[in-house]
Chains A and B, each alone.
Chain A
Amino acid sequence: MSGEPVARSADVTVTADSDTAFYWDGTSQERLLAQRCGSCQRMWHPPGPVCPHCQCLEWSIDELSRQGTIYSVAKVHEPGSPIQGTHYLVALVEQADPQRPDESVRLACNIRGGDLSDCPIGAPVSLVFEPLAGDYRLPQFEVRK
């Protein structure tokens, strides 16, 4: 059975807080944003108030690449999700820091466009956005078969 998106995310809103507002605001423009440390220059995700590499409190915001690589993937059979239904792929996608290609961040997501056999670890994927209720949109990735 292929991973048909249930698209129930359109019924749902997410709440942003002061640490994550920039990220969700970015999704409303279909941009994927992450923080870059003002001291060590490394990026991090998930959003947080301090650089987890060097604990610096100064940072700027950069846009992540729209391409990524599957870092881990699995297919949920049960108990399923009120939002994603059943038989959906969950994954971590790794995205290189555009300025420091040896470093990367990972995002949790679903994978669209294929079943587990089409989505091995290491497969290239592309950023897409799915609707949420409200202005924010939900970053997802799709596999190119």
Chain B
Amino acid sequence: MSAPWDGAAIAGIGQTEFSQNSGRSERRLAVEAITTALADAGLTANDVDGLVTFDFDSNDPASVADTMGLRQLTFFSETMYGGGGGCSTIMQAAMAVASGSAEVVVAYRAMNERSGVRFGQARVSKRAIPAVIALSAPYGLHTAAQGFSLNIARYFHEHDVTNADVAPLAVAQRAYAATNPAARFFGRPITIDDHQSSRWIVEPVLRLYDCCLESDGAVAIVVTSADRARHLRNAPVAVRAAAQGLAGQQMRNWYRPSIGSVEETRVAGDRLWAASGLGPSDMQVAILYDHFLPMVLMQLEALGFCKPGEAKHFIADGNRTVAINTNGGLTGEAYLHGMNWITEAVRQLRGTAANQVRDVEHVLVTSGPGVPTSALVLARSERQT
């Protein structure tokens, strides 16, 4: 396989506060995050020639460009499949830079998902169910939690896992959130009992404390060439490898041979390891998408951190060789569909995280499993003064 990629790096990150009601428009949130990220990189709007965001975002690149007065973009894109698309934004930005299609690409995500349209609510037209969901909606399979529950239930059955086995992970992530000032649950850790007595969302797989937050806020990330990033304000964070992963449907992944595993994450991970020449044991931190905590266990197995069925032991107290979800996660910090994932990875590699791990060289970041997904290996790199 080819040598680890060294074409692009993350030069700046920015975000708004995360809240339950931002009190301002998503477009304004996007611009705030983008402006902050550019300032962090030591760049300005005039330097930007690329924009990339996810679908399920109301601010397409043209609206943002027009709002900010950006008039010369040579790369613009939206990545697919909602929460599976976060790492894809960095992948596409890095590809644009490496191919010479753009020099400074900003990836962004802005949503009032708590005060605005909420993904966790089931909305169905009662008159005519469209053909594409005719085999799920009539059965009350509307939301991600309802749909993924069938995958998680199968995983639990195949490997003798119960919801109680997930509790140590919830406690560990809320402990990280408790010491992260940006987190919704700053100052509010939980115990195993708190987790196990939280109410069922879908029994016997998902309790309230297994499910991610709904948040208002925005995140932006500036990607440029590795060479340029070395001469900007921060230690660059190199995009060492990037991949997407598609191994079936989105959200209704019930028909492929194995549904009790996150095959899409495995596909992406296999490509990351092959492309980078690295493996799970080279990662000091793993930021694994936790829209639903049981799927963190499934990702640990799919990525090769442990064998199938072993994740419940891997996450048990004191049994971890890699720090997981050090900002508190989507369940503890905020839910910006994984973009606040990538910023945490950047902070860990720069040495500026609230829960800083020692000697971080490589961080793995994943986007949403259960849908076509994406993942990154980010690496520490040096500035040139």
A: residues with CB less than 8 A from B are 9, 11-17, 19-20, 24, 45-46, 71-85, 88, 90-92, 105-110, 116, 121, 132, 138
Contact present for B135 and A79 (CB under 8 Å)? no
Contact present for B203 and A14 (CB under 8 Å)? no
| B-side interface size class | 35 or more
Contact present for A12 and B153 (CB under 8 Å)? no
| Contact A76/B154 with A12-B129, A81-B122 known, Cβ cut-off 8 Å | no
Which of the residues B122, B134, B260 comes within 8 Å of A20, measured between beta carbons?
B134
Q: Whose C-beta in chain B lies nearest to the C-beta of A84? A: B140
Q: B252: which A residues are within 8 A, CB to CB? A: 108
Q: B130: which A residues are within 8 A, CB to CB? A: 15
Chain A to chain B: the 5 pairs with minimum beta-carbon distance, closest first: A84-B140, A81-B140, A14-B134, A17-B131, A74-B149
| Contact A121/B149 with A20-B131, A74-B203, A79-B122 known, Cβ cut-off 8 Å | no
Q: A11: which B residues are within 8 A, CB to CB? A: 126
Q: Whose C-beta in chain B lies nearest to the C-beta of A86? A: B140
Q: B149: which A residues are within 8 A, CB to CB? A: 74, 76, 90
Contact present for B201 and A132 (CB under 8 Å)? no
Which of the residues B157, B201, B205 comes within 8 Å of A78, measured between beta carbons?
B201
A6 CB to nearest chain B CB (Å) = 9
Which of the residues B135, B137, B140, B201 comes within 8 Å of A88, measured between beta carbons?
B140
Q: How far is B128's CA from A24's CA once the two chains are assembled, in angstroms?
A: 14
Q: A45: which B residues are within 8 A, CB to CB? A: 255
B42 on interface, CB distance cutoff 8 Å: no
Which of the residues B146, B202, B254 comes within 8 Å of A106, measured between beta carbons?
B254
A27 CB to nearest chain B CB (Å) = 10
Contact present for A90 and B134 (CB under 8 Å)? no
Q: B146: which A residues are within 8 A, CB to CB? A: 76, 81, 90
Contact present for B150 and A91 (CB under 8 Å)? yes
Q: A9: which B residues are within 8 A, CB to CB? A: 138
Q: Whose C-beta in chain B lies nearest to the C-beta of A45? A: B255
Q: A74: which B residues are within 8 A, CB to CB? A: 149-150, 152-153, 202-205
Contact present for A90 and B139 (CB under 8 Å)? yes
Q: How far is B128's CA from A75's CA once the two chains are assembled, in angstroms?
A: 25
Contact present for B153 and A73 (CB under 8 Å)? yes
Name 30 A/B residue pairs within 8 A (Cβ), A-sorted.
Answer: A11-B126, A12-B127, A13-B129, A14-B131, A14-B134, A15-B130, A45-B255, A72-B259, A74-B202, A74-B204, A74-B205, A76-B140, A77-B199, A78-B199, A80-B122, A80-B140, A81-B124, A81-B140, A82-B122, A90-B139, A90-B141, A90-B150, A92-B254, A92-B259, A107-B135, A108-B141, A108-B252, A121-B154, A121-B157, A132-B138
Q: A46: which B residues are within 8 A, CB to CB? A: 135, 255
A131 CB to nearest chain B CB (Å) = 11
Which of the residues A72, A78, A80, A138 comes within 8 Å of B153, measured between beta carbons?
A72
Contact present for B127 and A13 (CB under 8 Å)? yes
A4 CB to nearest chain B CB (Å) = 13
| Contact A75/B122 with A16-B134, A90-B141 known, Cβ cut-off 8 Å | no
B151 on interface, CB distance cutoff 8 Å: yes
Q: A76: which B residues are within 8 A, CB to CB? A: 140, 146, 149, 202
| Contact A82/B157 with A15-B129, A108-B135, A108-B252 known, Cβ cut-off 8 Å | no
Contact present for A15 and B134 (CB under 8 Å)? yes
